[in-house]
Amino acid sequence: MIVFTGALLLVLGLASGVFLVLAPFSIGPAAPGVTTWILFPGLTIVGYILLAASARMAIISVASQLAGALLL
């Protein structure tokens, strides 16, 4: 269950990052505020820590590579 929660928080953090990237192009329903700037790193870091702390070594490697690629 912790792996699922970590993955969900990681996805929500990355979605916040997508909204921050698309905001200067006026794509999206609203302008990002302080909440989005706090949620992006917060959810991404907490989600990754939960995912890495409770997963097996093979999953940690895949999660690290996937999260790193998506953050770039």
The token pair at 47 is 């989600």
Domain interval for residue 12 = 2-71
Q: Look at the chain and report how many structural domains it folds into.
A: 1
Query: For every one of its 72 residues, what pLDDT tens digit does the chain have, with 9 covering 90 and above?
Result: 888 898 899 999 988 888 888 888 888 777 788 888 888 899 989 988 888 888 778 878 888 888 888 888
Q: State pTM to two decimals.
A: 0.79
Q: CB under 8 Å to 21, separation ≥6 — which residues?
A: none
First to last CA, the chain: 28
